[in-house]
């Protein structure tokens, strides 16, 4: 009797082991190729640049030399004294706040309305998708012309009040308003950006659950808060996580609006834009600074992001359906 | 066939939420349509009329210029090397074909590989290192080291992908990026019961992945492929830097507008050429929008 | 039904993609390889000056060397960073590229390059007629990594772009804007003989009848206002307003002072101390102040007196509304500014809100970029607006002498600013691993011969920084404006100024340099300003040239402390 029990346990153990090996082989067969491919390319193309963070160009020797943590000190000084990077950091944070606390909720409500099939849904689906299809060049051009020629036609004195000389200086060039204008533009154009993903997630919410709720007298907003949000939470948590990630990579479309980095007012730079502009306009001598900023950003953002992810997974609503 | 609208939906449409949402969406949609109407109207103007009054100005000097579209269509071309070392011009249709092959190929390969990776990471979480892969994906999204253009080109040459569109499509396999996380979320959302039933019937891991689980996230898959497709369609730099013999329309457009002269200097011509380039994407979207955007009939997981 | 329409549309799209290879493809500019000749690939990175010049060079070279087939290519990646791929790229033999930084490709210490072939022999060969002998000094200093006696060249300048002011000659004649009553000339005394001799102070030269000093210029702009003419327009693109303001600085400072902005090695000569420019000692012989400049005090060049002069001009233009409102919008890119400038002659007749514009702030390649607007104006308005028919001219900037708020300038020459203070230049070079090295070098030699230079200018409208002459027939092929630049550049009283330098500091601290050399400024409240025109037009804490100078000084000092 005892022997049989032992045998069964052993068999069970063997079975688990076998299954474990089988699973491992399966997992490896799927993951190895993409990961190896990525690692190969990553180290070949950018491997060197991590090391650059600890180097600076020496003109006498005409090569990069090791400078220890000098670059990090420079970055810290720039942030702490309110230099370029300080301004960039502030703008990046502001952008994150707006996209997380303003745009995301509106975007979710738009998707919910489409999911609820409000009047004209089919029409809206096409129209709201346009910002993604139509080249950003067109939107930027349109927006610029409407701001500079369209708005003064409707409100002839609007810009006059903003300018001491009375000559039109529009929202895009006035240093008091241009940051806000571009932030508005970016939110306006990305408002329905998550539409495809969210409606996709919402469509999988069990119909029975919703119908039952409505029979109990649940309103649409109650459905949104109590059923939809919890059930699409895994998708939503991805957006929230990527939002945190993008604190440091997000940029305003300044490059397109002001046609080049040199015309972009400095107070509109973000961390992402700093790195972009340095690579676009700088020499290879600037690479160490970009690498340093990139490392600093990674060191700050990685723990925050992983923490956010873990919190969302831990405290977010459990859903499986 | 018209979709049947249920009683509840009808009720919802007339509810306060339905009305308010319709109105607000209408305002937002109008704010998108109006500028586009302006763009289309302006693309029919001559440069002198546009300069004289850019906001729906009358075509008083040059009259309407439908020839803008003919010009955009004709002059959208780039110079490419022939295999023998000569040079030739690649025109619109060749570029559209390249764009279609590249955009569809690269986005399907990329999303398929991401989907597979996300599946194993989401469903085999008891293998602790799959969690590591998940963390790696997140960290990689944060890191943005400057990559040297020359070493990128050299890498592509080394592995034979340089100027080889087909190999580049294969090389699009990936496990990184936000799209991985969406697949991950989608698989975490799914009940494991379906898979277990199949395992009971003796199905292999591959059968379960390809036949059972992946079809369940097809809405997510198509949506992400579409997003990738649009990105690839509008991206001119890949074609310019890595596949010079396979010019895409986005590259043609970039080249035409950066060249200055006729196109750079005329807003109507630039708008006309943009319209010509977005048409294919728009048509594809309108055809597939119901397949791509989740609605109540899709998903296969009702109640 | 919907599905069916969709499928048809989609099928149509794909069929459409497939069939017209033959219909549209091939032909045109295409060129097949001739197996009986050696192919030479010349890559041109497209920029404002067009492609005609390379086809002209091809024709010229092939006529002389029938065994060679020159094939122009237009690969955009061979620019700046992408040029580094030349190490493994033997598909191209000769490159013409903008925005090139010599230090990235050539080791100045070792006088070697891993990318470009040594072309010293073709540059120095030929004695007095050699390419080197004809090259301008500033360009030589940049491209010659050897010494004057033992030169070493890996690159040559592609072309030179002169920034400055364009004026409408037809308008000046119609409205009689020459010889305005009250002009005082360089001696600042009205009713003397030099009143109408222009800024060079000589009779019978190019600039006769134009204002000689900034005070005379103010009279001219007043005259324009009363004739319902707007003096200025420009593009909001900061690179342009920076370059234009720099051309005013260069005119004030002259070549020697201006080169100190990026070079930091020499003597800064000025007339009197200001709040910002101090520390010089008086040279009793000349009466001028002199300050030795090294990299240690080079930051002072960031607020030299010429900048004050340029800022006074910007302030005056904005304050007195002597500009078109469109100039400060984001929609007015350089093409749009050209169109606004050109069409104002007709639009002012149709629309009471539009006025004719006298000056455009631009570079000397502008007409080629605006060619389509000329064409449209010819088609839809009148023959007289055709490219090459309408007359424009390069406007030599008046001198700052006798102005109350600005110290008198020391420089007496007319200046042409060919390149802002920068470490990037337009370049021509030969690929080091070109399979046809000798032919490639021979082609470059031809391209920079007198014939090649002339052919280049006729086909691109811009000049090369070399001494070469165009025959009267060739000059007739230029537009009035191009000819004016050519004439001015060949006059003895004209000094060609270039801001770019190859100094170590310039390369390693580009960010610092950009602080010194541009109009970046920081207020006490830490606001950053880069475009004086926009700044003066807004209600900000910076309302005058003087307060802007304070902010420039603050910015430059912070930069200096920060980056050093």
Q: Is the pLDDT of residue C548 over 90?
A: yes
Going by pLDDT thresholds of 50, 70 and 90, the confidence category of residue C514 is low
Q: What is the mean pLDDT of residues C517-522?
A: 82
Cα–Cα distance measured from residue B284 to residue A142, given in angstroms and rounded to the nearest whole number: 24
The confidence score (pLDDT) of residue A161 equals 47
Going by pLDDT thresholds of 50, 70 and 90, the confidence category of residue A1 is low
Answer whether residue C284 is part of any domain.
Answer: no
HSE-up (13 A, CA, CB side) for residue B233: 24
Going by pLDDT thresholds of 50, 70 and 90, the confidence category of residue A176 is confident
Q: Is the pLDDT of residue A35 over 50?
A: yes
Q: For testing the chain B interface, which of C5, C12, C13, C104 should be mutated: the one with the most B CBs within 10 Å?
A: C13
Going by pLDDT thresholds of 50, 70 and 90, the confidence category of residue C518 is confident
Q: What is the pLDDT of residues B41-50, one digit of tens each?
A: 999 999 889 8
Q: What is the pLDDT of residues B241-254, one digit of tens each?
A: 888 889 998 888 88
Q: What is the pLDDT of residues C237-276, one digit of tens each?
A: 777 888 899 999 999 999 889 888 877 788 999 998 888 8
Give the number of domains in chain C: 1
* Token pair 């013999």: residue: B245
Contacts of C108 in chain A (CB under 8 A): 62
Q: What is the pLDDT of residues A40-70, one digit of tens each?
A: 888 887 777 778 888 887 767 777 888 889 8
Domain that holds residue C55: 38-161+420-496
| A89 and A43 in a common domain | no
Which chains neighbour C (Cβ–Cβ under 8 Å, 3 or more pairs)? Answer: A, B
| 3-state DSSP assignment of residue C106 | strand
Q: Are C255 and C224 in contact (CB under 8 A)?
A: no
Q: Are C328 and C318 in contact (CB under 8 A)?
A: no
Answer whether residue C487 is part of any domain.
Answer: yes
If you measure CA to CA, which chain C residue comes closest to B62? C380
Cα–Cα distance measured from residue C180 to residue C167, given in angstroms and rounded to the nearest whole number: 16
Q: Give B199-206's long-range contacts (Cβ < 8 A, gap of 24+).
A: B205/A22, B205/A23, B205/A26, B206/A26
The confidence score (pLDDT) of residue B298 equals 31
Q: Is the pLDDT of residue C538 over 90?
A: no
Cα–Cα distance measured from residue B253 to residue A260, given in angstroms and rounded to the nearest whole number: 18
CA C240 to chain centre: 9
Q: What is the CA radius of gyration of chain C?
A: 26
- The minimum CA-CA distance between A82 and chain B, rounded to whole Å, is 23
The confidence score (pLDDT) of residue A211 equals 86
Contacts of A267 in chain C (CB under 8 A): 527-528
Going by pLDDT thresholds of 50, 70 and 90, the confidence category of residue C179 is very high
Q: For testing the chain A interface, which of B28, B144, B234 should be mutated: the one with the most A CBs within 10 Å?
A: B144
Q: What is the ipTM of this complex?
A: 0.81
If you measure CA to CA, which chain A residue comes closest to B275? A134
Contacts of A75 in chain C (CB under 8 A): none
| Average pLDDT over all residues of chain C | 86
Q: What is the mean pLDDT of residues C103-119?
A: 89
Domain boundary among A18, A47, A64: A64
- The minimum CA-CA distance between C58 and chain B, rounded to whole Å, is 14
Cα–Cα distance measured from residue B13 to residue B10, given in angstroms and rounded to the nearest whole number: 5
The confidence score (pLDDT) of residue B296 equals 31
Q: What is the mean pLDDT of residues C284-303?
A: 87
Q: By mean pLDDT, which of A149-163, B119-133, B154-168, C343-357 is the weakest?
A: A149-163
- Whether chain A has a CB inside 8 Å of the CB on B283: the answer is no
Q: What is the mean pLDDT of residues C166-181?
A: 95
Beta bridge partners of C268: C291
CB contact under 8 A, B301 and A132: no
Q: What is the mean pLDDT of residues C379-394?
A: 94
Nearest CB among B255, B265, B284 relative to C335 is that of B265
Contacts of A260 in chain C (CB under 8 A): 237-239
Answer whether residue C502 is part of any domain.
Answer: no
The confidence score (pLDDT) of residue A306 equals 82
Contacts of A62 in chain C (CB under 8 A): 103, 107-110
- CATH number (domain holding residue C120): 3.40.190.10
Q: Is the pLDDT of residue A158 over 70?
A: no
Q: Are B274 and A134 in contact (CB under 8 A)?
A: yes
CB contact under 8 A, C9 and B283: yes
Q: By mean pLDDT, which of A302-311, C128-137, C357-366 is the weakest?
A: A302-311
**Phi/psi-derived region of residue C277, left when phi > 0, alpha when psi is between -120 and 50, beta in every other case:** beta
The confidence score (pLDDT) of residue A196 equals 77
Burial B171-185 (b: 16+ CB within 10 A, else e): bbbbbbbbbbbbbbb
CB atoms within 10 A of CB C249: 30
* Token pair 């977005």: residue: B278
If you measure CA to CA, which chain B residue comes closest to C7? B287
| Average pLDDT over all residues of chain A | 81
Cα–Cα distance measured from residue C268 to residue C256, given in angstroms and rounded to the nearest whole number: 8
| 3-state DSSP assignment of residue C41 | strand
Contacts of B51 in chain C (CB under 8 A): 336, 339-340, 343, 347
Q: What is the pLDDT of residues A268-290, one digit of tens each?
A: 888 888 887 777 666 667 778 88
- The minimum CA-CA distance between C344 and chain A, rounded to whole Å, is 17
The C residues from 321 to 360 touching A (CB cutoff 8 Å) are 321, 323, 325-326, 328-331, 333
Phi and psi at C74, nearest 5°, equal: -135, 55
| A192 and A168 in a common domain | yes
| A78 and A55 in a common domain | no
Cα–Cα distance measured from residue C472 to residue A100, given in angstroms and rounded to the nearest whole number: 68
CB contact under 8 A, A291 and B146: yes
- The minimum CA-CA distance between C145 and chain A, rounded to whole Å, is 14
Q: Is the pLDDT of residue A319 over 70?
A: no
Q: What is the mean pLDDT of residues A226-246?
A: 84
| A247 and A146 in a common domain | yes
The confidence score (pLDDT) of residue C509 equals 63
The class level of CATH for B70-292 reads mainly alpha
If you measure CA to CA, which chain A residue comes closest to C424? A283
Q: For testing the chain C interface, which of B1, B3, B48, B247 should be mutated: the one with the most C CBs within 10 Å?
A: B48
| A57 and A91 in a common domain | no
The confidence score (pLDDT) of residue B2 equals 40
Residue A256 sits at the vertex; the CA angle it makes with A251 and A260, to the nearest 5 degrees, is 95
Cα–Cα distance measured from residue B243 to residue C516, given in angstroms and rounded to the nearest whole number: 41
Cα–Cα distance measured from residue C423 to residue C378, given in angstroms and rounded to the nearest whole number: 40
Q: Which residues of chain A approach chain C closer than 8 Å at the C-beta?
A: 57, 59-62, 74, 77-78, 81-83, 87, 141, 144-145, 148-149, 162-170, 172-176, 257-260, 262-263, 265-267, 282-286
Nearest CB among A131, A149, A245 relative to B54 is that of A149
Q: What is the mean pLDDT of residues C223-241?
A: 89
The confidence score (pLDDT) of residue B147 equals 67
Residue B184 sits at the vertex; the CA angle it makes with B178 and B185, to the nearest 5 degrees, is 95
Cα–Cα distance measured from residue B108 to residue B101, given in angstroms and rounded to the nearest whole number: 11
Q: What is the mean pLDDT of residues C434-460?
A: 95
CB contact under 8 A, A285 and C423: no
- CATH number (domain holding residue A86): 1.10.3720.10
Q: What is the mean pLDDT of residues C337-359?
A: 91
SS (H, E, C) chain B: CCCCCCHHHHHHHHCHHHHHHHHHHHHHHHHHHHHHHHHHHHCCCCHHHHHHCCCCCCCCCCCCCCHHHHHHHHHCCEEEECCCCCEEEECHHHHHHHHHHHHHHHHHHHHHHHHHHHHHHHHCCCCHHHHHHHHHHHHHHHCCCCCCHHHHHHHHHHCCCCCCHHHHHHCCCCCCCHHHHHHHHHHHHCCCHHHHHHHHCCCCHHHHHHHHHHHHCHHHHHHHHHHHHHHHHHCCHHHHHHCCCCCCHHHHHHHHHHCCHHHHCCHHHHHHHHHHHHHHHHHHHHHHHHHHCCCCCCCCCCC
The winner for highest mean pLDDT among A235-239, C4-8, C81-85, C133-137 is C133-137
| A130 and A92 in a common domain | yes
Q: Which residue has the higher pLDDT, C304 or C502?
A: C304
Please classify residue C128 by burial: count the beta carbons closer than 10 Å to its beta carbon, then call 0-12 exposed, 13-18 middle and 19+ buried: exposed
Cα–Cα distance measured from residue B80 to residue C75, given in angstroms and rounded to the nearest whole number: 9
Q: Is the pLDDT of residue A250 over 50?
A: yes
Q: Is the pLDDT of residue A29 over 70?
A: yes
The confidence score (pLDDT) of residue C562 equals 42
Q: Is the pLDDT of residue A265 over 50?
A: yes
| A122 and A19 in a common domain | no
Cα–Cα distance measured from residue C468 to residue C465, given in angstroms and rounded to the nearest whole number: 9
Q: Which residue has the higher pLDDT, A196 or C376?
A: C376
Domain that holds residue A47: 2-64
Q: What is the pLDDT of residues C31-59, one digit of tens each?
A: 889 999 999 999 998 777 888 999 999 99
Q: Is the pLDDT of residue C8 over 60?
A: no
Q: Which residue has the higher pLDDT, C563 or C303?
A: C303
The confidence score (pLDDT) of residue B294 equals 52
Contacts of A214 in chain B (CB under 8 A): 8
Q: Is the pLDDT of residue C294 over 80?
A: yes
CB contact under 8 A, C343 and B92: no
| A147 and A7 in a common domain | no
Q: Which residue has the higher pLDDT, C168 or C127?
A: C168
HSE-up (13 A, CA, CB side) for residue A132: 23
**Which of C180, C158, C300, C186 minimizes the C-alpha distance to C229?**
C180
Q: Is the pLDDT of residue A175 over 80?
A: no
Q: What is the pLDDT of residues B30-41, one digit of tens each?
A: 999 998 899 899
The confidence score (pLDDT) of residue A4 equals 66
Q: How far is CA C56 from CA A254, B300, C32, C467, in A?
A: 39, 66, 18, 20
Q: For testing the chain A interface, which of C99, C331, C351, C548 should be mutated: the one with the most A CBs within 10 Å?
A: C331
Angle at which helices B178-189 and B218-234 pack, to 10 degrees? 170
Cα–Cα distance measured from residue C532 to residue C551, given in angstroms and rounded to the nearest whole number: 11
Q: Give the total residue count for chain B.
A: 303
- Whether chain A has a CB inside 8 Å of the CB on B182: the answer is yes
Q: What is the mean pLDDT of residues C145-151?
A: 91
If you measure CA to CA, which chain A residue comes closest to B210? A30
C155: CB partners within 8 A, 6+ apart: C100, C102, C105, C106, C116, C119, C143, C427, C428, C429
Share of chain B above pLDDT 70, in %: 87
Nearest CB among C16, C28, C33 relative to B93 is that of C16
Nearest CB among B143, B175, B289 relative to A38 is that of B175
Cα–Cα distance measured from residue B144 to residue A294, given in angstroms and rounded to the nearest whole number: 6
* pTM for this model (two decimals): 0.85
Answer whether residue C437 is part of any domain.
Answer: yes
Q: What's C31's DSSP letter?
A: B
Q: What is the mean pLDDT of residues B254-268?
A: 74
The confidence score (pLDDT) of residue C542 equals 83
Domain boundary among A12, A31, A64: A64
Give the number of domains in chain A: 2
Domain boundary among A34, A64, A94: A64
| A107 and A24 in a common domain | no
Cα–Cα distance measured from residue A104 to residue A90, given in angstroms and rounded to the nearest whole number: 20
Share of chain C above pLDDT 70, in %: 89
| A141 and A15 in a common domain | no
Cα–Cα distance measured from residue C434 to residue C41, given in angstroms and rounded to the nearest whole number: 9
Q: Are C151 and C132 in contact (CB under 8 A)?
A: yes
Share of chain C above pLDDT 90, in %: 53
The confidence score (pLDDT) of residue C564 equals 42
- The boundaries of every CATH 1.10.3720.10 domain in chain B are 70-292
The confidence score (pLDDT) of residue A166 equals 39
Going by pLDDT thresholds of 50, 70 and 90, the confidence category of residue A12 is low
| A240 and A93 in a common domain | yes
Q: By mean pLDDT, which of A120-124, C47-51, C308-312 is the weakest?
A: C47-51
The confidence score (pLDDT) of residue C436 equals 94
Q: By mean pLDDT, which of A188-192, A202-206, B286-290, C435-439 is the weakest?
A: B286-290
The confidence score (pLDDT) of residue C54 equals 95
The confidence score (pLDDT) of residue C467 equals 93
């Amino acid at each position: 009797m005892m022997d049989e029990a032992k045998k069964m346990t052993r068999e069970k153990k063997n079975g688990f082991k076998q299954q474990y090996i089988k699973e491992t082989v399966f997992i490896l067969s799927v993951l190895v190729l993409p990961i190896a491919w990525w690692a190969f390319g990553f180290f070949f193309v950018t491997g060197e640049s991590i090391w650059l963070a600890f180097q600076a160009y020496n003109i006498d020797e005409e090569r990069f030399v090791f400078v220890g943590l000098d670059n990090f000190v420079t970055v810290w000084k720039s942030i702490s004294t309110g230099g370029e990077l300080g301004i960039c950091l502030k703008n990046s944070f502001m952008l994150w706040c707006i996209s997380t606390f303003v745009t995301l909720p509106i975007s979710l409500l738009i998707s919910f309305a489409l999911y609820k099939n409000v009047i004209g849904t089919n029409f809206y689906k096409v129209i709201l998708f346009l910002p993604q299809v139509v080249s950003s060049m067109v939107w930027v051009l349109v927006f610029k012309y409407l701001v500079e020629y369209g708005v003064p036609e409707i409100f002839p004195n609007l810009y006059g009040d903003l300018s001491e000389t009375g000559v039109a200086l529009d929202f895009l060039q006035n240093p008091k308003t241009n940051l806000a204008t571009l932030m508005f533009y970016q939110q306006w154009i990305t408002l329905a950006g998550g539409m495809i993903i969210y409606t996709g997630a919402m469509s999988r919410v069990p119909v029975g659950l919703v119908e039952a709720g409505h029979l109990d007298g649940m309103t649409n907003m109650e459905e949104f808060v109590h059923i939809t949000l919890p059930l699409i939470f895994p998708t939503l948590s991805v957006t929230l996580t990527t939002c945190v990630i993008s604190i440091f990579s997000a940029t305003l479309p300044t490059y397109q609006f002001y046609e080049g980095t040199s015309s972009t007012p400095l107070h509109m730079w973000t961390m992402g834009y700093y790195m972009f502009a340095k690579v676009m306009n700088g020499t290879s001598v600037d690479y160490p600074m970009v690498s340093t900023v990139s490392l600093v950003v990674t060191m700050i953002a990685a723990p925050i992001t992983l923490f956010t992810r873990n919190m969302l997974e831990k405290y977010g609503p459990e859903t499986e359906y | 066939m018209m979709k049947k609208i249920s009683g509840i939906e009808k009720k919802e449409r007339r509810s306060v939420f339905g009305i308010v949402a319709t109105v607000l969406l209408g305002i937002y949609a109008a704010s998108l349509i109006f500028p586009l109407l302006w763009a289309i109207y302006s693309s029919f103007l001559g440069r002198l009329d546009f300069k004289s009054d850019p906001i729906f100005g009358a075509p008083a000097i040059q009259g309407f210029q439908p020839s803008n579209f003919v010009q955009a269509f004709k002059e959208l071309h780039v110079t490419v090397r022939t295999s023998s070392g000569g040079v030739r011009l690649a025109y619109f249709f060749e570029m559209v074909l390249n764009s279609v092959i590249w955009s569809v190929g690269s986005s399907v390969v990329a999303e398929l590989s991401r989907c597979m990776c996300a599946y194993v990471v989401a469903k085999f979480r008891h293998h602790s290192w799959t969690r590591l892969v998940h963390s790696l994906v997140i960290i990689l999204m944060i890191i943005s080291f400057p990559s040297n253009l020359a070493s990128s080109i050299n890498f592509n040459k080394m592995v034979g992908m340089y100027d080889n569109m087909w190999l580049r499509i294969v090389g699009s396999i990936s496990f990184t990026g936000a799209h991985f996380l969406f697949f991950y979320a989608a698989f975490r959302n799914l009940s494991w019961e379906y898979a277990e039933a199949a395992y009971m019937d003796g199905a292999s891991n591959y059968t379960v992945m390809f036949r059972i689980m992946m079809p369940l996230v097809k809405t997510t898959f198509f949506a992400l492929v579409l997003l990738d497709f649009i990105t690839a369609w509008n991206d001119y730099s890949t074609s310019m830097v890595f596949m010079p013999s396979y010019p895409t329309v986005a590259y043609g457009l970039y080249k035409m507008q950066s060249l200055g002269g006729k196109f750079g200097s005329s807003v109507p011509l630039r708008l006309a050429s943009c319209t010509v380039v977005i048409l294919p994407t728009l048509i594809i979207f309108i055809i597939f929008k119901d397949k791509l955007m989740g609605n109540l009939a899709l998903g296969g997981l009702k109640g | 039904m919907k599905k069916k329409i969709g499928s048809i549309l989609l099928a149509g799209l794909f069929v459409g993609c497939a069939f017209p290879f033959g219909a549209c493809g091939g032909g045109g500019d295409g060129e097949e390889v001739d197996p009986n000749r050696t192919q030479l690939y010349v890559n041109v990175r497209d920029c404002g000056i067009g492609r005609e010049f390379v086809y002209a060079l091809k024709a010229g070279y092939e006529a002389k060397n029938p065994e060679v087939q020159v094939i122009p290519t237009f690969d955009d990646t061979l620019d700046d960073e992408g040029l580094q791929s030349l190490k493994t790229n033997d598909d191209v033999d000769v490159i013409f590229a903008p925005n090139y930084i010599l230090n990235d490709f050539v080791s100045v210490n070792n006088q070697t390059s891993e990318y470009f072939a040594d072309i010293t022999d073709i540059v120095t060969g030929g004695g007095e007629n050699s390419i080197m002998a004809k090259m301008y000094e500033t360009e030589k200093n940049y491209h010659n990594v050897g010494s004057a006696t033992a030169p070493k060249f890996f690159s040559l300048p592609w072309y030179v772009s002169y920034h400055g002011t364009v004026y409408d000659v037809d308008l000046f004649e119609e409205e009689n804007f020459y010889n305005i009553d009250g002009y005082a000339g360089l001696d600042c005394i009205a009713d003397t003989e030099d009143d109408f001799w222009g800024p060079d102070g000589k009779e019978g030269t190019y600039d006769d009848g134009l204002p000689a000093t900034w005070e005379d210029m103010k009279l001219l702009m007043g005259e324009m206002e009363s004739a319902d003419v707007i003096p200025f327009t420009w593009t909001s693109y900061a690179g342009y307003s920076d370059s234009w303001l720099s051309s005013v600085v260069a005119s004030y400072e002259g070549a020697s002072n201006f080169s100190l902005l990026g070079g930091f090695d020499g003597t800064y000569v000025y007339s009197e101390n200001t709040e910002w420019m101090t520390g010089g000692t008086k040279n009793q012989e000349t009466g001028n102040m002199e300050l030795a400049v090294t990299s240690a005090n080079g930051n002072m060049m960031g607020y030299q007196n010429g900048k004050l002069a340029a800022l006074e001009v910007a302030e005056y233009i904005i304050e007195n509304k002597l500009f078109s409102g469109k100039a400060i919008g984001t929609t007015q890119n350089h093409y749009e500014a050209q169109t606004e400038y050109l069409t104002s002659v007709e639009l002012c007749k149709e629309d009471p809100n539009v006025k004719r514009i006298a000056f455009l702030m631009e570079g000397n390649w502008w007409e080629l970029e605006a060619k389509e607007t000329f064409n449209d104006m010819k088609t839809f308005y009148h023959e007289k607006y055709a490219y090459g028919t309408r007359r424009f001219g390069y406007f030599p900037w008046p001198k700052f002498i006798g102005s109350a708020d600005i110290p008198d300038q020391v420089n007496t020459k007319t200046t042409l600013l060919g390149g802002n203070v920068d470490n990037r230049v337009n370049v021509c070079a030969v690929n080091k691993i070109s399979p046809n090295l000798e032919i490639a070098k021979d082609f470059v030699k031809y391209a920079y011969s007198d014939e090649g230079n002339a052919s280049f200018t006729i086909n691109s409208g811009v000049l090369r920084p070399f001494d070469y002459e165009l025959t009267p027939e060739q000059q007739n092929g230029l537009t009035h404006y191009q000819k004016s630049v050519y004439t001015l550049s060949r006059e003895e009283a004209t000094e060609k100024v270039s801001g770019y330098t190859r100094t170590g500091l310039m390369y390693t601290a580009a960010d610092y340099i950009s602080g010194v050399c541009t109009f970046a400024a920081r207020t006490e409240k830490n606001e950053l300003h880069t475009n004086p025109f926009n700044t003066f037009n807004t209600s900000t804490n910076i309302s005058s040239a003087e307060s802007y100078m304070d902010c420039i000084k603050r910015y430059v000092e912070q930069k200096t402390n920060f980056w050093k």
